[in-house]
Structure 1
Amino acid sequence: MKLRQKILLLAVAPLAVAMLGIALAVRFQATQLAQHERTLVESAYLQSKETELRHYVELAQSAIAPMVHSGRTDAATRQAAMEALARLDYGPDGYFFLYDLQGRNLMHPRQPELVGQDLWMLRDPQGALTIQKLIAAAKAGGGSVRYLWKKPSSQQLAPKLGYVVAVPEWGWMLGTGIYLDDVESTLRQLDARAATDIRETMAWIGAIAAVSILLVAASGLALNISEHREADAKLRQLAQRVVQSQEEERARLSRELHDGISQLLVSVKLVLEAATNRLRLAPAEGAAVAPVLGMALNRLDTVFNEVRRVARNLRPALLDDLGIFAALQHLAREMQGGSHLQIGVSQAGTPRELPDEQATALYRIAQEALTNVERHAGARKVTVALAFDPDATRLTVRDDGSGFDVARMQLDPRRGIGLRNLRERIAALGGQFGIVSGIGGTELVATLPLVKAPARPVASIPAEPSQS
């Protein structure tokens, strides 16, 4: 690691640790505060409801007090008191209930099926003896009791806060209650709001930390930005020079193969043809040699064609003589002749002379693309389109093959080397390279910016060697 990178790391690391510590401390304090607030709200709410219930019970006691204090204990008087209590309700779930001190239900306006039942041993789902708790509180002078009971409006068990008192003259327990599920819902809303506030606070802290770290990092990177740009420029120039050197070497090798080896092979062929003619004129002298010489001629023809093919692949002469479009047409004819592909080449826009490096890059891209289509795509038709736009030159190769996963190909270091090389070559020339592939086929697009081609001497077209 370089010294400047170490200094940058020493500046960023303490800041990141400090912001993390602040975030954890704020989160802990906010959580504690939210829990304390929840406890206070719950306590204040329950106290207010307990006071409200006590007032309700006192109101109910006042309603039946004349009958209780009348001294009459007959069934009619008690029934009148029960009816008076049954009419005292408040809201859909606010009502009064009566039990005797042995746990038998005497009056329940919302659940009349319980009237007359002995509920002394009634237990809630948690195993608590509900009625015994209520009677014990009433005998102790009255008070509030928390328990579970079926809510009439929803027919579901819900937590309930009850307030009960004893009516000792008649041996009754009088009570009422309020369901606490609404309280629980309110408390859950408070908890959700507190959690949201904590998340927003943490997000703000994270954003501030990110901005601070980015500012520090940007300040450090600003010290080296000019050096990095210069280094990148040098690397691009170097890459372009490497590609240019490769193409120059290929052109030199192509000339040597054509002007040297090819001419030698032609001369050998002429000698062998002369020998064959002499043997034909004097068949008695060397009839056995003629078949061998004929085979040699066939093999020399094969070698000669192979040398010409290698020379064209290394550096097609048409690229220098007639331009990129003619070279692409020739490449398509050669590929089509040796495969089942139907290749169409088209041109759009006003043709112009391209710099050598651009023409070579586009030709190599087309060559690599057609080779990949032939080997892997399973396609039947391929179109090669060359477009001379006002500000760029665009090459598009489209096939109707099976396609492939571009993302996986780019991530696999053992595959797609040719495509990566083409992408780097286009990037070195300041162009853009894109490829889209799917079930319907693959489309490859290479775009190079408009650059004025330098003047160059007219290349002489070497004469084709005679094969007669």
Structure 2
Amino acid sequence: MSLYWRIFLLNAVVLLAAAALLLLGPVTVSTPVLLTEAVIAVAGVVVMLAANAVLFRLGLAPLQRLTRAMTTTDLLRPGRRLEVSGTGGIADLIGTFNTMLDRLEAERAASSALALCAQEAERRRIAQELHDEVGQTLTVVLLDLKRLADQVPEPLRADLHRVQETTRAGLDEIRGIARGLRPGILDELGLTSALTALAHEIAAPSGLTVRRTYAPDLPALGDQAELVLYRVAQESLTNAARHAGATKVDIRLLRGAYGVRLTVDDNGGGTGGAPEGSGIRGMRERALLIGADLSIGPAPGGGTRVRMTVPPEKGAA
């Protein structure tokens, strides 16, 4: 039975019951109205309103749950579904909403995968051009400066040495940007070596103390899973160094029946209930790309804990 007919029939029952009491009962209305008759009339109206309120509350409760679900649904936290309850049109509406969420999550996952793959391809291209074109050009400039420094008079030699150091610093920055865009060590030496290099790269200028724990028997992971784990660790370390005011970070990469789990704990100020920024939402997008579970919350000793679990069937090479 549809919601319309349920509400209509329930109200009809209440009104018919009230009419039957007036027609068949001993109660009459005098002119002028007596006090007892007014009390009975007011009591009857109150009973009718209370009955309607209870019936509407029971009938529309599933719709209220559906409204709350619509306002709190986040496609970056998939898998949450409403229990199909109620009768008639309400159950159909909840079932349709769940089906819509299934379709939206599948479409978002597909579009996010395409966008992130295109982003990584563009990063790889830019990093390659920075390394091959700009890096080689600056290397040639350094060689020319060294050759000139050996030929010019002594007063100009110190100036050329300063230019050499400035050029060498620019070359190091270019190489650092290229490594950040696309970590070549990840392709060449694997995930644990890339995480170790990342920890040294971020800890050196910021003064962070990074402790690393890697399981010796990590399974072979696919390129996509390794890249996502690396990016999540990179964003977590960057947040700890730049925004959280942390001095210590603990990185663990372990395996178990759950699959492969990356945990990054810092002793910073925590999130403080602040809304998630683009960096954290980017981590959630990447976790969805490989079907991993990502959680961000307080660390046991204070600070922030970022934990990502890659199931075995999702991270297999």
- Normalised TM-score (structure 2): 0.71
Question: Which of 288, 303, 307 is residue 441 of structure 1 equivalent to?
Answer: 303
Q: CA deviation at 1:203?
A: 5.8
Question: Which of 19, 23, 29 is residue 6 of structure 2 equivalent to?
Answer: 19
Tell me what 2:120 maps to: 247
Secondary structure at the aligned position of 1:19 is classed as helix
Cα gap change, 1:418/1:277 in structure 2, threshold over 3 Å: closer, same or farther? same
Cα gap change, 1:199/1:312 in structure 2, threshold over 3 Å: closer, same or farther? same
The answer to whether 1:267 aligns with 2:140 is: yes
Aligned partners of 1:33, 1:208: CA distance in 2, in Å? Answer: 32
Aligned partners of 1:264, 1:203: CA distance in 2, in Å? Answer: 74
Q: CA deviation at 1:252?
A: 2.6
How many pairs are equivalent? 273
The structure whose Rg is larger is 1
Runs of 5+ consecutive residues of structure 1 not aligned to the other structure: 1-11, 41-193, 280-285, 411-415, 455-468
Question: Which of 397, 400, 411 is residue 264 of structure 2 equivalent to?
Answer: 397
Secondary structure at the aligned position of 1:402 is classed as coil
The answer to whether 1:308 aligns with 2:169 is: no
Tell me what 1:413 maps to: none
Q: CA deviation at 1:378?
A: 2.2
Aligned partners of 1:355, 1:446: CA distance in 2, in Å? Answer: 16
RMSD, aligned α-carbons: 3.9
Cα gap change, 1:207/1:453 in structure 2, threshold over 3 Å: closer, same or farther? closer
Q: CA deviation at 1:200?
A: 6.7
Aligned partners of 1:376, 1:208: CA distance in 2, in Å? Answer: 43
Tell me what 1:256 maps to: 129
Aligned partners of 2:123, 2:286: CA distance in 1, in Å? Answer: 16
Question: Which of 203, 209, 217 is residue 342 of structure 1 equivalent to?
Answer: 209
Aligned partners of 2:59, 2:245: CA distance in 1, in Å? Answer: 55
Cα gap change, 1:275/1:203 in structure 2, threshold over 3 Å: closer, same or farther? closer
Matches within 5 A, 1:260-409: 260-279=133-152, 286-348=153-215, 350-406=217-273, 408-409=274-275
Give per-residue Cα distances to partners, 1:172-212, cap 9 Å, x unaligned: xxxxxxxxxxxxxxxxxxxxxx9999887666555799422
Tell me what 1:52 maps to: none
Secondary structure at the aligned position of 1:265 is classed as helix
Matches within 5 A, 1:39-188: none
Higher share of residues assigned helix = 2
Q: Are the aligned partners of 2:207 and 2:247 in contact in 1 as well (CA < 8 Å)?
A: yes
Higher share of residues assigned strand = 1
Secondary structure at the aligned position of 1:409 is classed as coil
- Normalised TM-score (structure 1): 0.50
Cα gap change, 1:307/1:216 in structure 2, threshold over 3 Å: closer, same or farther? closer
Tell me what 1:213 maps to: 89
The one-letter amino acid paired with 2:6 is M
Give per-residue Cα distances to partners, 1:78-122, cap 9 Å, x unaligned: xxxxxxxxxxxxxxxxxxxxxxxxxxxxxxxxxxxxxxxxxxxxx
Secondary structure at the aligned position of 2:88 is classed as helix
Give per-residue Cα distances to partners, 1:367-417, cap 9 Å, x unaligned: 1111111222222211111113345221111112222244x514xxxxx12
Secondary structure at the aligned position of 1:335 is classed as helix
Q: CA deviation at 1:434?
A: 0.8
Give per-residue Cα distances to partners, 1:52-73, cap 9 Å, x unaligned: xxxxxxxxxxxxxxxxxxxxxx
Cα gap change, 1:368/1:204 in structure 2, threshold over 3 Å: closer, same or farther? closer
Cα gap change, 1:323/1:32 in structure 2, threshold over 3 Å: closer, same or farther? farther
The one-letter amino acid paired with 1:254 is A
Q: CA deviation at 1:293?
A: 1.1
The one-letter amino acid paired with 2:308 is A
Q: CA deviation at 1:235?
A: 4.1
